[in-house]
Chain A
Amino acid sequence: MNTNLFKYCLRLGDNSLILGHRLAEYCSYGPYLEEDISITNTSLDLIGQAEAILKYAALVENAERTADDLAYRRPEIEFYNVQLVEQPNGNFAHLIARQFFIDAFNFYLYSALKESTDNTIASIAAKSLKEVTYHLRRSSEWVIRLGDGTSESKIKMQEAINDFWLYTFEMFEMDEVDEELITKAITVDLKPIQDLWNKKVDEILVMATLTRPEDGYMATGSRKGYHSEHLGYILAEMQYLPRAYPTAKW
């Protein structure tokens, strides 16, 4: 097994899985019905992406585990999603800030990964990119609307941007996984992605009449399986049935 490729797939898959889960939580809480449907659409895209990537992870691992085993039987420490996606939905501005940050990242990442020398990664990236392009369009528009809406929405949107800023750094962290996969052109250097991300974020924040926060403490740890306290609760809920009835098929 290529451990690094396996871990990299988990990173991508877990990002989509946990964010998809968070958005699914929001179902029936939308600010109006049309938006409720749009949010679940995004959630469905993400869970579909997670399924595709985790399936590939299981194949790479070659240990007779399935995508479901990886999603429903792994402990927290073996999850590699960034802490941003596990942050609670909060108010609608939080949901949007979280979405915008990750959408912008995914957009540039998948744009690059569709040229991957690994055919499966390349094809998953190409398919996901279509979905993510739409997600980014929507989340950017929402940041602008809420930023440039009422004085109340402006405050809430700025607070949400500030609250989640510390989780944006982790997306661009690289370790030995990246080192090996970049040399094989399976994955890409995240530094240029970060530059593009910064440009996009600045552009949208200006349009939204919002301010880019100062960098302070920046969360880290997810590359090693260390998370915020939220992930444990997400998994406790998500994995409840398969864990409580280990022999049952659903």
Chain B
Amino acid sequence: MSNTIEELEKQFQEKIDNEIKIEPKDWMPDDYRKNLIRQMSQHAHSEVIGMQPEGNWITRAPSLRAKKILLAKIQDEAGHGLYLYSAAETLGVSRDQFIQWLHEGKAKYSSIFNYPTLNWADMGAIGWLVDGAAIVNQVSLQKTSYGPYARAMVRICKEESFHQRQGYEIMAKMMAGTKEQQQMAQDALNRFWWPSLMMFGPHDSDSSRSSLALKWKIKRETNDTLRKRFIDKTIPQAEFIGLKVPDPDAVLQPDGSYKTGSIDWDEFWNVVKGNGPCNKQRLDHHKRAHDHGRWVREACIAFSEKQDKRKAIAK
């Protein structure tokens, strides 16, 4: 059976259109593979780099309960990174390679993690807004066309559901607390609101890759659709506990949705290009951990080779 590229592409698109998932060994267009590798590794790196801003507060978590929850949550991020790396590896790229691309600056991660966490309420803001934004995106991605990616997303969504709640709980507690706690909470919202909206990516009109990703159902909904969904559910949540989003132009419309002010895309592109407050710090941290772990990984490889040899001799 020999098929021309055109025929293969046609069959491929038919499968996509009929909601049949693509599996690792199936034929797929090169660009589909490349697009997935880029998006999935970026997603995996985001989970892993995302451990750092929250990790910054683990040692200062103010109660045993808060410490356990935060630690469990960061651990989940590591787990999600693993699910995504494994899913991405089915496309024929090793995790070592993904890490190398990250260190060389060839692979990106979500810009939100290049902002610092400055007070305890930031743990609330991250859970509520950053995970909240991520969940909107990830729920949509559970239906992505690539099987391993969709399966990872289902698992991740199941686990993530507690993240947003724990974040909102922190914010609600602080808003019900002392004046200083309320100030911390509002300050955290002020700093994380706009970067959270940027997490959905550029406007549809400026997003070069969007149309192909949508045609292949890698992405299921556009950046602006998802962003709007997030805004409409988040602003009432803020108001409910007495917080105010830092957008003087945010107005409730008759249909229940919100009209909002415009996003500072210069800031967005600047941070994407590496000029955010913590870009260097985050990447250096990851490189350092990786470098410091090298001798441990080498020891594991050496030990397992010795074990194999011993077993061979025993036989």
Contact = CB atoms under 8 A, between A and B. Distances in A.
Contacts of A234: 59
A24 B79 CA distance: 16
A33 B300 contact: no
Contacts of A183: none
Interface string B277-308: 00000000100110011111111101100100
A43 B71 contact: yes
Nearest to B293: A31
A238 B60 contact: yes
B128 interface: no
B197 interface: no
Interface string B44-82: 000010011001001110111111100110110011011
B295 A37 contact: no
Prevailing SS type, chain B contact patch: helix
B120 interface: yes
B299 A150 contact: yes
Interface stretch (A78-86, A141-149, A184-192, A217-225): A141-149
A50 interface: yes
Contacts of A35: 296
Nearest to B170: A250
Contact of A150 (B48, B62, B302): B302
Nearest to A70: B64
B181 interface: yes
A75 interface: no
A24 B57 CA distance: 10
B177 interface: yes
B173 interface: yes
B180 interface: yes
A40 B71 contact: yes
Given A145-B299, A247-B178, A248-B177, A241 B62 contact: yes
B75 A44 contact: yes
B60 A240 contact: yes
Contact of B296 (A43, A146, A242): A146
Prevailing SS type, chain A contact patch: helix
A99 to B, nearest CB: 14
A156 B295 CA distance: 10
A41 B75 CA distance: 8
Pick the most buried of B68, B85, B288: most chain A CB atoms within 10 A of its CB. B68
Interface string A150-184: 10110010000000000000000000000000000
A115 to B, nearest CB: 27
A247 to B, nearest CB: 6
Nearest to B81: A33
Nearest to A249: B177
B68 A44 contact: yes
Contacts of A25: 58-59
A21 B299 CA distance: 27
A245 B180 contact: yes
A30 B52 CA distance: 12
Interface in B246-287: 285
8 contacts: A24-B59, A27-B51, A28-B74, A44-B71, A152-B299, A153-B299, A153-B302, A241-B62
Interface of B: 48, 51-52, 55, 58-60, 62-68, 71-72, 74-75, 78-79, 81-82, 85, 120, 173-174, 177-178, 180-181, 285, 288-289, 292-300, 302-303, 306
Q: Which 3 A-B pairs have the closest CB atoms?
A: A149-B299, A31-B293, A153-B299
Given A27-B75, A152-B295, 10 more contacts: A33-B82, A40-B71, A43-B71, A44-B75, A68-B65, A149-B299, A149-B300, A237-B59, A241-B60, A241-B120
